[in-house]
Amino acid sequence: MRFYNTFSGKVEEFKPLKEGEVRMYTCGPTVYDYAHIGNFRSYVFEDIVRRTFKYLGYKVTQVMNITDVDDKTIKKSAELGISLKEYTEKYTQAFFEDIDTLRIERAEVYPKATEHINEMVELIKKLLDKGYAYVKEDAIYYDISKFKNYGALSKIDVKNLKKGVRIQVDEYDKDNVQDFALWKFKREGEPFWKTEIGEGRPGWHIECSAMSMKYLGETFDIHMGGVDNIFPHHENEIAQSEGATGKKFVNYWIHIHHLIVNGEKMSKSKGNFYTLRDLLRIGYKPEAIRFLLLSTHYRKTLNFTMDALKQATKNVERVYNFYYDLKTTVFKEKEENIEVKKITDESLSKFKEALEDDFNVSVAVSSLFEFIKQINKLQNSGGIGRADVNKILEGLNNFNKVFDILPKKLDTDIEEEYYNLIKEREKARKEKNYKRADEIRDLLKEKGIILEDTPSGVRWKKSY
């Protein structure tokens, strides 16, 4: 397994801290609104990473934070005149509904910032003790000039850094390389906690340092997020964590490139966004949205268009129809076809190798379509019998362990009486009793079941 590590700027062989286990932290949502599909690009890719490791036999422990206190949530809840808790509860709920819709597997832990204030205070105390933090009137700040590796992740230039220039807001850009707030002292009208370091609330960056180390240990394997998190968020996480522990914080950093619209990053502030719910309302299927989000390599920007979503819908339908046909064809009895095993094994090993190569989904996806194409070719020449079906389904199921785009429920059940009629028709055809065969076909048609004769056997479809 190898992938690109932002820290080293190279593709590296993955060596977990503990053989066969992966411990990873993924920056989660700030629950101030519905997440947009740009956010979901990151979460879907993180799901692919998670599923790939599981597919390769690793035990995965994933932690994703819920940021339920920050500048934005406080501002929004105040505007509505409701408590921070009431406000964030609604969007936390919506977030979980959305990830279920997109079939993003649940992480092991979803710690909430407001439930980990003690851990953050402890961390800040350590930073104060060690001289990495200092107290000012409005906040406790991190002194970035004290941390000698500051800038190592984002490769920012800290040469011209002005010592003691401070920034209170959580989000800022590379032109503002400054000391940042760890703890913001109580302000009129804002929620606050009474703690040993004073009344106030945490900054955003300290949340992730405190919660990741609590659940994953002081050093863990992988930390992920969108590229916009590299600076300042992840740079600050490293400074906070390594400043406090003196140990390496994270071994591998993975960053997902943006989903863009008309050349610009999709974001709330630009107003150029679709939520998942917007797309479902228009009529797009969750599987198609998931497929679109997963099928561009994570180190390339994903240009979102409705045409791309339509194409994704078609691709998902191709997989769906393949699956449906396998389930509804009455395959003929014949010897196992060794070609089936060959095609399945070859496609799956291509799939696995692609994922092991920096999560190369483009190749992984094309190995699925190649598999479908080859098996269809065999079916069309009558090369598939009843004995081969399970092998094909098992192969498809393996692809689906990572992609998860097959329908959860498939409406292929027909009444036994009709199934028996299909069998009877087969027998009649064999005996060249075409009159009876046609009679049965017409009868089933009246019942809404359409029969189609294929070289591998008869297949039914329901018409409504």
Residue 271, CA distances (Å) to 28, 82, 128 in order: 21, 24, 40
* Given 168, 267, 366, 412, the residue binding ligand AMP (CB under 6 A): 267
Q: Any contact of residue 326 with ligand AMP (CB under 6 A)? A: no
Neighbours of 266 (CB within 10 A): 21
Considering the rule CB under 5 A, would residue 66 count as an interface residue with Zn ion? no
Closest distance to ligand AMP from the beta carbon of 302 (Å): 7
Q: How far is the CB of 45 from ligand AMP (least distance, A)?
A: 9
Check binding of 266 to ligand AMP (CB under 6 A): yes
For position 66 contacting ligand AMP by CB under 6 A, the verdict is no
Binding of ligand AMP by 290 (CB under 6 A): no
Radius of gyration of the chain (CA): 27
Question: In the window 207-236, what residues touch Zn ion (CB under 5 A)?
Answer: 208
Of the residues 151, 226, 243, 457, which one makes contact with ligand AMP according to CB under 6 A: 226
Q: How far is the CB of 67 from Zn ion (least distance, A)?
A: 8
Region from 22-30, 277-285, 407-415, 440-448 binding ligand AMP, contact rule CB under 6 A: 22-30
- Binding-site partner at residue 208 among Zn ion, ligand AMP, none, CB < 5 to 8 Å by type: Zn ion
CB of 42 to ligand AMP, least distance (A): 4
Choose which of 5, 77, 229, 313 interacts with ligand AMP (CB under 6 A). Answer: 229
Question: With CB under 5 A, what is the number of residues at the site for Zn ion?
Answer: 2
Residue 38 binds ligand AMP, judged by CB under 6 A: yes
- Segment 169-208, which members bind Zn ion (CB under 5 A)? 208
Tell me how far the alpha carbon of residue 393 is from its chain's centroid: 25
At its nearest, how many Å lie between Zn ion and the CB of residue 126? Answer: 19
Rounded-to-integer distance, Cα 365 and Cα 350, Å:
10
Q: Does 258 contact ligand AMP by CB under 6 A?
A: yes
> Interface with ligand AMP includes 228 (CB under 6 A)?
yes
User: If contact means CB under 5 to 8 A according to the sort of partner, which of Zn ion, ligand AMP, none does residue 178 touch?
Assistant: none
Q: Give me the 13-52 binding string for Zn ion, x by CB under 5 A, dash otherwise.
A: --------------x-------------------------
Q: Which residues contact 8 (CB under 8 A, 6 or more apart)?
A: none
| Binding span for ligand AMP by CB under 6 A among 37-45, 56-64, 74-82, 452-460 | 37-45
**Cβ atoms within 10 A of the Cβ of 460, count?**
20
Interface ranges with Zn ion (CB under 5 A): 27, 208
Interface ranges with ligand AMP (CB under 6 A): 27, 29-30, 38-39, 41-42, 225-226, 228-229, 256, 258-259, 265-267
